[in-house]
Structure 1
Amino acid sequence: MNPLERMGRLLSQVVDELAVSDPEFVYCIHPVSSLTVNDGWRKITFKDLATAVDRVAWWLDRQLGSKGGQQVLAYIGSNDLRYAAFVLACMKHGHANASQHLLSSTGCSILVDGSEKRQLKEVLDEIEANSDDKSFERWQMPALWEVFSPMPAEPYKFPHHYSDIEDTPAIIVHSSGTTGLPKPISLSHGFLAASDQIQSLPVPPGRQTAQLFIHYRGKMRFLHGPLFHLIGLACVIECIFYHSPFILAPDCPLTPEVLSQIMTSDSPPVWGMISPYVIEELSATETGRKSLELFASIGFGGAPLSTSVGDSVSSYCRLQTMIGSSETGYTPTLMCEDPADWGYLEWNPSFKLRMESMGDGLWELVLLRPSNRRYHGIFHTHPKLDEYRTGDLFRPHPYKKGLWRYDGRSDDIIVLSNGEKFNPTDAEKTIETHPLVESAVMFGQDRFQAALLIEPRWAKLDTHQPPQFLLNEFGDVIKKANTFLPAHGQIIDSHVALAGITDPSHTGYCRRLRPSVLLTGSTGELGSYLLHTLLRSPSVAVVHCLNRSGDAMQRQISQFESKGLVATLPWLSDPERVQFHQAALHEENLGLSARQYENLREKVDLVIHNAWAVSFNKPLAMFAPLITGLRCLLQFVEHSSRQAHLHFISSIATVAGWHDSRETVVIPESLHDDSVVMHQGYAESKFVAESLCGLAAEYRHIPIAIHRVGQLAVPSTVTAGMWNPRDWFPSLVKTSRTIGELPNSLGPVRVDWIPIVYHIVNPHPIKWMELAPFVSRECSAKLVTLEQWVGQLQQKVGVGSNDQGVNEMPAVRLLEFFTSLVRDQERVQPPLAVSNAQAKSITMRNLGPVDCRMMGIWLEQWKD
C-alpha cells in the first residue's frame, strides 16, 4: 500500500476490512480470567474484534437513546480488551472516549463502568456520590466474554471518510503529568493515522527502524500494563494498523513466575514493551532472567533503566529505548548499530526535528512542523503550532555523533544559587535500587549546596534503627550515585536526611496511619514467631489475636518465654499493642460478640490466617470446621471497611505430589489442580483452602496472598526455643537415638528447611547425605538404608505402643508418613520455585543452606 492510500485509513474501518480479508488472524491472546494465567488463554481474532465493536456500538446506541450531539463518554474498567472494543465503538458512534477520570475537565457526564474489582467499584461509587452534575449517569458495561461472545452481531455502519473527520476528536487521554497535574489531551483521527503512516517514513540505506512494532510486524507482541496508558493504547492501535498479534498479561504484578508461564505458553511473544522498573525486578532472579532471554527484543521508556541492569540484559536480549508522550506519540528513531549503545537514541533523519542547546551539555528535543503533518501526530494534537518543545533533555554520546542519551526533563534540572546546574534523575534512580529504599529525591533549587532525602522501606526494618545506622547502610549506594553527578552536585553526608514518621507532608501523614493486623493461631509454633515479628515492626499499629482458648495471653507468655522471645514479652500485656480474643472461626461472627466483630471489621487492615490443625493422620472430612472458618474469614475480609488483605499460611504439602513427568524445571508459585496434592488429609485440606482463596480472589476480588511454608526449624542463631519435638524430623532423631540406627536417605525429601524467622522454603536445599554422617556421629547411631530404618520402626510398633515407648520412639506415631517416604523415594520431584519470595525479600535472597552448625544446635535441644 502506498503512502497516499494509507493516509486515508481510519482505525475502525481497518478492523472491519481485516475481519473480511483475514478473519481468523489472531489479534489478541487474552487470559480467560483477567487476574491470572492459571485458567488458560482465549484467542480473539480480527473477526471477533469487529463483532465485539459492533455489539458495543449498538449497546451505546440503546444507552444513548435520544441524546443529541456529540457526547464525551468516560470508560473506567478492568484491564481487559473491552477497552479496545469500547474505544473503537465510540469512534464508529461518533463520540469521544475519555479513558481516564478527567470528567469535569472534559465535560463528561456519562461514566461507563467496566470494573470487576471491588476496590475500583468503590472508587466509582465515590465519584458518582460526589458528582455535582445532576445529569451525571453511570452505565454498567457488559462483561468481557459477553462483549466477545461468539454470537454474530449486526454490522454497525461507519460511512465516514478520513478527510471529513481528520481533526475530529477520536479519544481523550491524559498527559503524563510530568509538568504538573494530568490534563486531558484530545487525540484526533489524524493523530491515530500518523501512527499508521509512520511505517512509510524513509529509513537511510542499510539501517533499520527502531520502532519495534514496524521491525517485528506480524510477530507476537507482549503487553503488560494499563490499556489506558500510552503504551497500552499504542499496542491496541498499532496491532490493528500493522496486522500483528499481541498477548495481554493478566491484571496482576508481573512476577518472574507469571512471565515464565507466559513465555512457555503455546504462543510466546517475540518482543514487547516493559517498564524499566519491571525489567530490573525480573532480571534480579534466575527465573526472570531466563524469561527475558526468550525475547528477541525489549523496548522500554518512561523512566531511566539502571546502567548495570541494562548492560546485563543487553548481553542476552536486544534492548531498545523509545521516547514519546501522550501529546506527541513516539518520536521515530533508528536502531543503534552497536547493541551496547542500548541507552542511546538516534533520530530518523526523515523526521523533522532539531536539538537545541540548553547549556551544561544538555539539549532539548524540539519537534518541527513539516509541510505535511502525516508523520507528526503532535501537529494534529496542536494544529496551529509550528514547533513543539518537548521538555525532554538529552546528552550527546561522548564520541559517536548522532547518538543521544535521555537525561530527564527540563523541569528536573536543579539550579543552585551559584548558577551551576545538574540533573539528579540518574542519581536518584541509583539510590532507589537499594532494597531498603522506597524512594529518593534530591533538592536544592536556589541553594548553595544540594541535599538528599531518602524514604526507607520501613516495613522491611524489624526495629527502630537509629538514623546513623541507616545512613551508614546507604553509604555505598550514595557513593555510586555520586558517580552520576558533577562536582557541584555531589551528595555529602551532612546533607542526607531520612523521611519518616515526622514527615509533615500529606503523604507522610497517610503513612503514619499504620495498619491493624488480625492474626489467627498466635499461640502455635509459627504463630508465636509471627506475633513476635509483628510486634517488633514499627509499621504495625496493633495486633488482634484470635485463638480458641480463653487463656490465650497466658499461653502466649509461656510460648514467648520458652522460645526466648523476651524483647516483645512486655508488650503482650499492653492492649495498645496486642489484644487477645477468644474466637471460633467456623461460627457466626467468628465466634465473637456482634460488637467485637463489627469493631474488628471497621479497624483491621490485614488478616494473617495461620490457625490450622497439623495432623498427618486425620482424613479430609475432619478438617471441615477449619475450611468453614476460612470461608467465614473471607466473608469478614470482603466486607471490611478498610479493604483488608488476607494472607493465608498454606503448606508445600499441596504440591508435594508433583513429579518429574510434568516436564517442568521447578514447581511454580501458582495455584494447581488436585493431581499434585499429597494424598493426606492435612495436605488436601490446605489444597481446598487454597482453591477457596483462589475463587475468592477471582470472583469476589478479595486481595489474597497464599504462602506455602515448608519445614520450619527454630532460629539457628540462638539456643532458646526448641523445634517442636512432635514434628517428623525431631521424632526421627530421637527414635534413631533409641534404636541406634539412622536412615542414610529421606526418600524424596530435600533439606530445604528454613529458620522460623524466615518464611516459605530455603532456596538452597542440600542432600540429607551431606548432614547424615554428622547426625549419625552425634546420635551414636549407625547409618542404614531408609527401608531398613522403617523396617526397624515397624518391628517396634508393638513395643512403642505404651506411653514410655512413644516418648522414646516418637516416630512410631508417624509410621505411615515414614512409610510413604520409602514408597516415594524413587519419585523425582522438581524443586520449589522461590523467585517470587526472593524478589520481595532480601533475607530470602541471602539465606544460606542448613549446615552442621545449625544441626548441632537442634540436636543439643533434643537430648533428654
Structure 2
Amino acid sequence: MAEHVVAPIGKRLMVQVIDDVADRDPERKVCAVPKGSEISDGFFDLTFRELAHAVNYMSWWIVEAFGRSSTMETLTYLGANDIRYLVMVMACNKTGYKALRPDLTTVEIPAPTEILRGATMPYLFSKSFEEVKDDVAFIAHSSGTTGPNAYWGIISHTPRSSADDIHQITGIPKPIQLTFGYFGALDAGAYVPIPPGRFSGVPDRLSKDDVILAAAPFFHLMGFSLLIISVFHGIRCVVAPDKPLSTEFLTSMLNATKPTAILLPPCILEDMTLSQASMEALWNLKYVFWGGSSLSPEVGRKIREHTPLAGFMGMTEAGFILSLAPEDKEDWEYFEWWPTNGIEMELVDDDLYEMVIHRHYDPFLQPIFHTFPDLDEYHTKDVYTRHPTKSNLWKLRGRLDDVVSLSNGEKFNPVTMEKIIEGHALVARAVVVGNGKFQPALLVEPNWNQWSEDDPPRDLIAQIWPTVQDANRINPAHGRIMKNKIGVALKNKPFQTTPKGSTQRRLVTRDYEKEIEDIYTKQDDGFTEYQIPDTADLSGIQEFVRNVVSDALGFSSFSDQTDFYSLGFDSLQTMQLSRTFQGSICSCRPSTKSRAITAQNIYGNPNVEKLAKFLYGITSNVEQSTVARSEKIDALVQKYTIDLPEREAGTRKATDQHTVILTGSTGSLGNYLLHALLRNPSVVKVYCLNRSEAKDRQVKSFQEKGLEYDFSQGRVEFLVASFGEEKFGLSGPKYEEMLRTVTTVVHNAWRMDFNISVDSFEDVHIRGVRHFIDFSLQSIHNAHIFFMSSIGTIGGWTLTHGPSVPETPLEDCDVTLRQGYAEAKHICERICLAASQKAGVPTTLLRLGQIAGPTTENGMWNRQEWLPLIVATSKAMGKIPRTLGSMPVEWTPVDTLATIITELIQTRSTSQTDPPCSVFHLVNPSATSWESLLPAIQERYNVQPIEMSEWVNELESITNPSPAEVAAKPALKVLGFYQGLVEGEGALSAPMEVEKTKEASITMKSMRPISIELMANWLKQWNF
C-alpha cells in the first residue's frame, strides 16, 4: 500500500505527489521503461526524480510553444504509447491545459531521452485540491471502434459530455472529461477497508514488491490506471515497447521482465491460452487480472488452475469499481461489489440485472459523480446475472446493447454463449444476431492461423458444432442456435473491435447485413447431410432421429424417452423438424411423397423412440399399433390414483388466517392472483413456487402492471420448485415448514401450449398434481387444493350429454376437447376427484374460460396468445376474421378473474367438505360477439373482415413458411387451433351452468360483457 504523503488521502494531486516523492525519496522507482523499440534492447527503471524532471521539462516546453493557459485550453499528445503519455498529461495539469484535444497548430514534442535528460528547472504547481477539484485534468475516452479514423472521435468533441452522450452509441469512442476530483476519488478508493484475507479485483492493493505489466493502451482507462496506481500507491508497472499485443510479444515480455501481475482484456488472454509457452508464462505470475468484457469460461478455468484470477471492473467515466474476488475459486467469473460503490442491481429482463450506481453519503468515493455532478444515479448499461446460490455474487453478461430481442418478444443475452464458442481453437470471434428475427443465428470469424479460407464453411461448422451445442445448454430455448443458422465470416472483412478488444456487435451486424439475411432466407438445408440409409431398420432410424433432433435442440444430453417439449422445443423447431424429416425420407423413399409428415406428427410423437417408430412405419409401410384415446387417458388417471390411501375426509376448524402456496405467480394470471391474495388481510403468508428465481421478476412485473405492494413486509416467500420431483425439489426443512403451516394450495402453473400431446404434460404437470395431493395428505391442516382447470375439459360436450354443462366433476373423456392441453387438465381433474373421494383431500376445480387482458391501462394481454396472434397476423394480411367460428366472447379480464378466484377460495374455506370436490365455471355470464368488437380493430388497422374459414385457408396455403413469414404472420404457429375454431371446436353446443359460481362470488354475479372500450385498451397495449 502507498506511503503517507503530506496531502490527505483522496485530496492528493498526481503532479504534487510526483514532486513530493521526488523530493523525499528521489530514487524510488515508478516503472520499468524500454530502452528501445525491441524487448531485446532491455529496460531501465524510471525514478520519481526522473519523472518529476521530465514533467518540469515538458511544462516549460509547453509554455514556450503555446504560452500559459488561464482558460483550460486543450492539447493533445498523438504518438507512441510510451511514458511521454503520463508526462504530457502531468505537464498539461501544471500549465493549465487539458489533455488531449488538438490545437490547429501541431508541434513535434521532444524525444523521451531529451525529456528525461534535458536541462530544466522546477515548474511549481501550488494550487490546492479544493481549488481544482472540479477542473478537467485529463480527457480520456470510453470504448469504441479501433481503426484508422477511430481516434478522431476522441479529439473532435468540444463541450463536456453528458451521461446520455456517453452511452448513446457504443460503436464510437466518446471523449470523457475527467476532473482532479475524479482522480482524488480513485486515490481514496484504494484505502477503503475490506475484510482481512480477501483479495480485491482492483490492482491498487498489490504490495510495493509487486510489478504489473502495462499492456493496454494509455489512452484507455485500463492502461492509464496502472500509471495512476504507480504514482499514487507506489506499485510499479512495466511499460512495454509500442508494438501490437501478439501472443508471442506478450510471452516474451513476461519472460524478459518477470512481473508478478498482469492486466489484460479477455481477447488477449484467450489467444494466449492457445500457446503452451504463453500459458506457462501466465502460470508463473502471482496474479492475473482481466477486464473490459467477459472471459471465456474454458480460458478462465485453465488460468485459474495455476494462478489467482480476478476480474477488474472499471469504466472510464466511473473509474475503478471496488470488488472482491470470490472466496471459492470455482466462482472466478463473479464479482462481489463493496458497499462504498453505491451499486444497486436493477432487474431489466428475466434474470438480467443492470448495474446502477446511486449517490451515497460519501460521493468522494464515487468517481462517477465527479464526471456527472448533476446526477444522483448512473445507469451503466452493463448487465449481470446473479449466482444461483450466492446472492452477493454477480457475473458479467455484457451490455444492454448486447441483448437480442426476437420478433416474438423473447429476449436473451448471448455474451456467455459467444465466449464459450470463442473458446474453440478454430474460432477467433463469435457474434449471435437475431434482432427482429424469429430465431437467433451465429456468425463466426475463424482463427485464420488455424483455418484456411479455401476450406468449405460447412467443414468449419461441423468441427465447431459440438462447442456450439455446449453453449446452447446455458441458453434459454428461444436463444439456442440451430446448425443451419450458422454463417462463417470473410477473411477480407474482419470483425470490428474496441480498443479493449471487445467485438462491436452493432458494427459487425451492419458490415454483415447481407450475409446475415442470406442465413435467414436460404432454404433449411442444414439437415440434408442426414440421410436415412436405404436398408435402415428401426434402430437405424432411431439413431437418425436422435441426430436430427440433437442438432435442432443444440445439445444431445437427453434419453430417447425424454419429451422434446420438456427440453424447450418450440413451434418453430417443430415445423422445421417436420420439413427435415419430410425431405430426408422422400429423398430416399420416393414412394412416401404422397404422405406428408406434419408438425402434428411431431407433437403426437414427442420423443426419439416414438418418433422413430412413427417414421419407421412410414418408410416400411408397417402400420403401428395405436392405443385408443380413452384407454390412454384412463391409464394415466389410474397410474396417478391407484395408490391413493383410503381415508375419511379430514375435519378442519374454520380459521381467520390462511397460509397459501401459489404456483406460477409470475404468469399473467399469477401476478393478479398474488396481488389479490396479498390484499386479503386474512392471508398471513404466501409461498410462491416457481420454476426459477422469481422475486425480482415479480417486483418488476407488479410495477409494470400498476399493482402496488411493499414486498419488504415479509408476507411473501419465493421458492424455486420442480413440480415433477418429490417434495417439489425443495429442501427437507422448508417442505416440513410448509406442511405445518399451509392451509391452501392454488395450483396455477401450467404450460400454455395447445399443440403438444398429453404425453408432453405428464412428467411435470400431471405428476405435479399428484405431488400436491401427497402434500395435502401429509399436511397438518389438510391443505385445500384449488386446481386451475380449463373449459377445454368440457369442450366436447354436446346436447347428447345433456342440455347444459353442470358444475360437477366429469369422468367421461368424450366431453373433453381432443387436444393435449385439455386432456391433461381432464386427467388432473379426475386425479383431484379421486383424491377427494378416496382419501378425503379437499379439492376445488376451477374451469377457466378465456382469460382476457386487464381492465386497467397498465399491464397487457400476452402477445403470444391466440387472440393477439390473430390481430398481429390480420394486420399483416390486411384481412381479419368476421367471426371466431362459433366461439362466443365470454372472456373474463385477468384482474377481475383474480378477484373472483379469491372470493371462491374464501367461500370454499367455510364449506370445503360439502362436497369435498367442487367445480366452478369461470366464464363471463354476460356474453357478447366478436363482431361487436371489430370496429375497435378497424379503427386502428386497415383490415377487411372475411369469413374465418377463408382467413384460415389463406394461412394454410403457406405450405412451407420461412422464419420471416412466421414472424410476420405468427398465427401460423398455432394454425391447428384456428382450424379447430372453423370446425366448431371453439364453442359448446350447450350452455355452461354458472349459477353456483355466481352464488359463491359477488364479482362474478355482477360482471359485465367485454366492451369495445376494453378491446381498444388491449390494442393500445399490444401496439402491433
Instruction: Tell me the TM-score normalised to structure 1 length.
Output: 0.52
**What are the residue-to-residue correspondences of 1:245-644 with 2, within 5 Å?**
245-255=236-246, 257-265=248-256, 268-456=258-446, 461-462=451-452, 464-500=454-490
Letter in 1 for 2:48: F
1:247: Cα distance to partner? 1.0
Structure 1 residues 195-204 or 228-237, which shifts more?
195-204
Equivalent residue for 2:109, pick from 114, 138, 141? 141
Verify the 8 A CA contact 2:201 2:289 in the aligned structure 1.
no
- Give the distance between the partners of 1:463 and 1:13, measured in 2 at CA: 56
Structure 1 residues 476-485 or 433-442, which shifts more?
433-442
Tell me which structure has the larger Cα radius of gyration.
2
Equivalent residue for 2:201, pick from 200, 210, 213? 210
**What are the residue-to-residue correspondences of 1:781-800 with 2, within 5 Å?**
none
- 3-state secondary structure, aligned to 1:12: helix
Letter in 2 for 1:142: P
**What are the residue-to-residue correspondences of 1:149-188 with 2, within 5 Å?**
149=117, 151-177=118-144, 179-188=170-179
Partner of 2:1007: none
Q: 1:37 to 1:433 in 2, by over 3 A?
A: same
Verify the 8 A CA contact 2:457 2:488 in the aligned structure 1.
yes
1:238: Cα distance to partner? 1.3
- Give the distance between the partners of 2:174 and 2:249, measured in 1 at CA: 34
- 3-state secondary structure, aligned to 1:439: strand
1:354: Cα distance to partner? 0.9
Partner of 1:227: 218
Partner of 2:26: 23
Q: 1:39 to 1:3 in 2, by over 3 A?
A: closer
- Give the distance between the partners of 1:431 and 1:327, measured in 2 at CA: 31
Partner of 1:87: 89
- 3-state secondary structure, aligned to 2:39: strand
Letter in 2 for 1:6: I
Verify the 8 A CA contact 1:210 1:320 in the aligned structure 2.
yes
Letter in 2 for 1:301: G
The number of equivalent residue pairs is: 474
| Mapped pair 1:191 → 2:194 | no
**What are the residue-to-residue correspondences of 1:105-144 with 2, within 5 Å?**
108-110=101-103, 136-144=104-112
Partner of 1:237: 228
- Give the distance between the partners of 1:91 and 1:4, measured in 2 at CA: 17
- Give the distance between the partners of 1:224 and 1:293, measured in 2 at CA: 17
Q: 1:282 to 1:238 in 2, by over 3 A?
A: same
- 3-state secondary structure, aligned to 2:127: coil
- Give the distance between the partners of 1:510 and 1:496, measured in 2 at CA: 14
Partner of 1:46: 48
Verify the 8 A CA contact 2:358 2:378 in the aligned structure 1.
yes
Instruction: Tell me the TM-score normalised to structure 2 length.
Output: 0.44
- 3-state secondary structure, aligned to 2:76: strand
1:366: Cα distance to partner? 0.7
Q: 1:316 to 1:3 in 2, by over 3 A?
A: farther
Q: 1:437 to 1:283 in 2, by over 3 A?
A: closer
Letter in 2 for 1:484: I
Q: 1:67 to 1:204 in 2, by over 3 A?
A: closer
- Give the distance between the partners of 1:505 and 1:355, measured in 2 at CA: 29
- Give the distance between the partners of 2:367 and 2:337, measured in 1 at CA: 16
- Give the distance between the partners of 1:458 and 1:334, measured in 2 at CA: 37
Verify the 8 A CA contact 2:190 2:204 in the aligned structure 1.
no
- Give the distance between the partners of 1:88 and 1:80, measured in 2 at CA: 14
Verify the 8 A CA contact 1:3 1:200 in the aligned structure 2.
no
1:80: Cα distance to partner? 0.8
1:220: Cα distance to partner? 1.4
- Give the distance between the partners of 2:281 and 2:307, measured in 1 at CA: 10
Q: 1:170 to 1:137 in 2, by over 3 A?
A: same
- 3-state secondary structure, aligned to 1:17: helix
- 3-state secondary structure, aligned to 1:157: coil
| Mapped pair 1:6 → 2:22 | no
Verify the 8 A CA contact 1:27 1:246 in the aligned structure 2.
yes
- Give the distance between the partners of 1:276 and 1:441, measured in 2 at CA: 15
Verify the 8 A CA contact 1:501 1:508 in the aligned structure 2.
no
Verify the 8 A CA contact 2:296 2:422 in the aligned structure 1.
no
Verify the 8 A CA contact 1:29 1:246 in the aligned structure 2.
yes
Verify the 8 A CA contact 1:271 1:295 in the aligned structure 2.
yes
- 3-state secondary structure, aligned to 2:81: coil
Q: 1:26 to 1:362 in 2, by over 3 A?
A: same
Runs of 5+ in structure 2 lacking a partner? 145-168, 494-507, 516-1024
Verify the 8 A CA contact 2:34 2:44 in the aligned structure 1.
yes
Q: 1:264 to 1:351 in 2, by over 3 A?
A: same
Q: Which whole-Å deviations, capped at 9, do the CAs of 1:52-88 have from their partners, x for residues lacking one? A: 0000000000000377632111111101100010010
- Give the distance between the partners of 2:310 and 2:338, measured in 1 at CA: 14
1:336: Cα distance to partner? 1.6
Verify the 8 A CA contact 1:3 1:197 in the aligned structure 2.
no
Q: Which whole-Å deviations, capped at 9, do the CAs of 1:562-615 have from their partners, x for residues lacking one? A: xxxxxxxxxxxxxxxxxxxxxxxxxxxxxxxxxxxxxxxxxxxxxxxxxxxxxx
- 3-state secondary structure, aligned to 1:316: coil
Verify the 8 A CA contact 2:5 2:17 in the aligned structure 1.
no
Q: Which whole-Å deviations, capped at 9, do the CAs of 1:512-533 have from their partners, x for residues lacking one? A: xxxxxxxxxxxxxxxxxxxxxx
- Give the distance between the partners of 1:2 and 1:66, measured in 2 at CA: 28
- 3-state secondary structure, aligned to 2:190: helix
Q: 1:465 to 1:190 in 2, by over 3 A?
A: same
- 3-state secondary structure, aligned to 2:8: helix
1:172: Cα distance to partner? 0.6
Partner of 1:754: none
Partner of 1:96: 98
Verify the 8 A CA contact 2:10 2:186 in the aligned structure 1.
no
Letter in 2 for 1:91: N
Structure 1 residues 77-86 or 336-345, which shifts more?
336-345
1:283: Cα distance to partner? 2.5
Q: 1:204 to 1:474 in 2, by over 3 A?
A: closer
- 3-state secondary structure, aligned to 1:170: strand
Verify the 8 A CA contact 1:356 1:364 in the aligned structure 2.
yes
Letter in 1 for 2:287: S
1:459: Cα distance to partner? 7.5
Equivalent residue for 1:58, pick from 57, 60, 78? 60
Letter in 1 for 2:434: G
1:158: Cα distance to partner? 0.7
- Give the distance between the partners of 1:51 and 1:260, measured in 2 at CA: 33
Letter in 1 for 2:116: F
- Give the distance between the partners of 1:89 and 1:275, measured in 2 at CA: 29
- Give the distance between the partners of 2:24 and 2:186, measured in 1 at CA: 22
